[in-house]
Amino acid sequence: MHQQDRDVTADLSLLKWYRDMGVDETVQDEPVNRFRPAGDTHDTPANRSQAPQPDRRSTPPPKGLKVEEQKDSVASAKEIAARCQTLDELKHAITSFSGCPLSQTATNTVFADGNPAAPIMFVGEAPGRDEDIQGLPFVGAAGQLLDKMLGAIGRDRSNVYISNIINWRPPGNRTPTANEALTCLPFIKRHIFLAKPKVLVLLGGTAAKHLLQTNTGIMRLRGTWTEVMLDDYGEQTIPALPTLHPAYLLRQPAHKRLAWQDFLALDEHLREIEQATAED
């Protein structure tokens, strides 16, 4: 076998190994040598590749946004959101919005899935890889777990509505920054206002933090009913139950029992609402 063929075979088997290990995208063009001793700054070929490489696909860090630009984005998101009178208008407005840098790296805008007339609306964090590809929230592994959790209380996507705090996938599935959340917040608030759910379920710390405006962790918030204030749209508040994010439950299956307690409380609350509506 020629050297070139051997190189290609080695490259292919390395790629196959990466794929089998679950690597589904590259974050940097060059590998990081984590065995390099701290402080070794010699200009060797191996060290040269350690120089921080710009991630060409990622957005400029929002930290780099000038304060004025950030203010402009939030103000313009608020203004645009407030003008939308229907969910279709809002979907269209978000899809055309360019004030959040995440929209530049995303494949699709992810708006919502399920039944917008449902009494219950779930709000997650941000689209992941599968959601970005399909343009729908919670369609990957976390979404499949969410479907199972819904099934356990006799529900599915025909009688719940699902969206996220952020409408575009953060590169590499990182947690959205505070600035990104701030920019997208007017959209999800208007989204909730227009969908008018009777109950909100906040899936995970990011949804709880931004919709409840709190720094209290999700472990302390979960399972206790609270209220989301849609401040820009009158005095309106919506009952909300923070719970654990399905992606977290995939990593910490022992905590599924906590989520199960929350879903039972949710089921009870929904039954009361449905009974009261039937009696009206």
Interacting residue ranges for ligand URA, rule: CB under 6 A: 124-128, 131, 137-138, 140, 142-143, 164, 247
* CB 114, min distance to ligand URA, A: 12
* CB 237, min distance to ligand URA, A: 23
How many other CB atoms are there within 10 angstroms of residue 181's CB atom? 22
Q: Whose Cβ is closer to ligand URA: residue 97's or residue 138's? A: 138
* CB 136, min distance to ligand URA, A: 8
* CB 205, min distance to ligand URA, A: 10
Q: Whose Cβ is closer to ligand URA: residue 140's or residue 197's? A: 140
Q: Whose Cβ is closer to ligand URA: residue 136's or residue 182's? A: 136
* CB 97, min distance to ligand URA, A: 18
- Please give the C-alpha separations between residue 214 and each of 72, 129, 190, 199, in angstroms, as whole numbers: 24, 28, 20, 19
Residue number with the smallest Cβ distance to ligand URA: 124
Rounded Cα gap, residues 118 and 212, in angstroms: 22
Q: Which residues contact 40 (CB under 8 A, 6 or more apart)?
A: 47
Q: Whose Cβ is closer to ligand URA: residue 36's or residue 157's? A: 157
* CB 125, min distance to ligand URA, A: 3
* CB 103, min distance to ligand URA, A: 16
Q: Whose Cβ is closer to ligand URA: residue 139's or residue 238's? A: 139
Q: Whose Cβ is closer to ligand URA: residue 175's or residue 214's? A: 175
| Partners of 200 in the β-ladder | 121, 240
Closest CA to 75 of 147, 182, 158, 148: 182
Q: Whose Cβ is closer to ligand URA: residue 131's or residue 180's? A: 131
* CB 247, min distance to ligand URA, A: 5
Q: Whose Cβ is closer to ligand URA: residue 127's or residue 186's? A: 127
Rounded Cα gap, residues 113 and 157, in angstroms: 7
Q: Sheet with 199-203: list strands edge to edge.
A: 113-114, 161-164, 120-124, 199-203, 237-243, 226-229
